[in-house]
Structure 1
Amino acid sequence: MNITLTDVDKNNYEEVCDLSVAEDQYDYVSENMWSLVESKFNPSYQTRAICLDGKPVGFFMWVPKTKGKISIWRFMVDENYQNKGIGRKALLLALDEIRQTDGLEEIEICYNPNNPVAKDFYASFGFVDVGMDEDGDDMIAIIKI
């Protein structure tokens, strides 16, 4: 299983937009099309297609929040490719890439506390819950670098 992260570009953006999570996960992640639009108007937002043997099967977007903090805003694997270890491998690749950022002190991720899988999944990478976001909707978890 060859998992890679590649830039979202004119050759793969339509495939990335066609990816979808399972219906019971809709409340946990935004549509990829919306994220790509956001990234076009915010040049510091980084987008990556999660590819299996070169075919997009998932999506990431991370955003610099401060000089020392990057926040992973979007992370999804298409419903047809979940529970195969792709998300775990992809998050390792993303964290490795993000850690290359000069001056980085922490990586942040938010998740819906009602998502039964997210807390343990992110904790297994070293993310530590630090509290709810300002809206009280999502749990914030961080990794100190």
Structure 2
Amino acid sequence: MSIEIKAVTDENRAAILALHVSEKQISYIESTKVCLEDAKECHYYKPVGLYYEGDLVGFAMYGLFPEYDEDNLDGRVWLDRFFIDEHYQGKGLGKKMLKALIQHLAGLYKCKKIYLSIF
């Protein structure tokens, strides 16, 4: 099983922008276009593509936000956006990608807690 978490670049931006959830899920998460605009406005956000066996199957956006936790000098790591593209849902990829993201964030930020935005 090959899972990769790749930053959004000029090379994969169009494919990232083409990702979407089903019509009935649209009210639960922002589009990748909105997410990338948010990331331009806030440099803490790190938008990424989620790849399984070489295929782009989802999107996530996370970051370390130091101003949210004065008691913790390292700040808070937030997993703010996460979804699997409509065409890849129902195959167990959400669980696999979330597990990979948690491991990625724990290694990247050396954190013991990851905060979630939930709607």
Q: State the TM-score, normalizing by the size of structure 2.
A: 0.83
Distance 1:105 1:69 in 2: 10
Q: How does 1:87-126 map to 2 (within 5 A)?
A: 87-100=94-107, 101-102=109-110, 104-112=111-119
What does residue 89 of structure 2 align with? Answer: 82
Identity, in percent, stands at: 27
**Shift of the alpha carbon at 1:43?**
2.4
Say which structure is richer in helix: 2
What does residue 42 of structure 1 align with? Answer: 42
1:80–1:58 Cα change, 3 Å: same
**Shift of the alpha carbon at 1:42?**
2.3
Provide the secondary structure at the position in 2 that maps to 1:44. Answer: coil
What does residue 51 of structure 1 align with? Answer: 51
Provide the secondary structure at the position in 2 that maps to 1:73. Answer: strand
**Shift of the alpha carbon at 1:65?**
2.8
Q: State the TM-score, normalizing by the size of structure 1.
A: 0.70
Supply the AA of the counterpart residue of 2:76: K
What does residue 24 of structure 1 align with? Answer: 24
Greater shift in the superposed pair: 45-54 or 72-81 = 45-54
Q: 1:6·1:48 contact (CA, 8 Å) conserved in 2?
A: yes
What does residue 127 of structure 1 align with? Answer: none
Distance 1:40 1:76 in 2: 20
- What is the root-mean-square deviation in Å for CA atoms of aligned residues? 1.6
Residue-pair matches, total: 111
Given candidates 63, 67, 76, the residue that maps to 1:69 is 76
What does residue 138 of structure 1 align with? Answer: none
Supply the AA of the counterpart residue of 1:31: S
Distance 2:76 2:46 in 1: 14
Which structure 1 residue ranges, 4+ long, deviate > 6 Å from structure 2?
none
Q: 2:44·2:65 contact (CA, 8 Å) conserved in 1?
A: no
Provide the secondary structure at the position in 1 that maps to 2:11. Answer: coil
**Shift of the alpha carbon at 1:105?**
4.1
**Shift of the alpha carbon at 1:31?**
0.5
Unaligned runs of 5+ in 2: 67-73
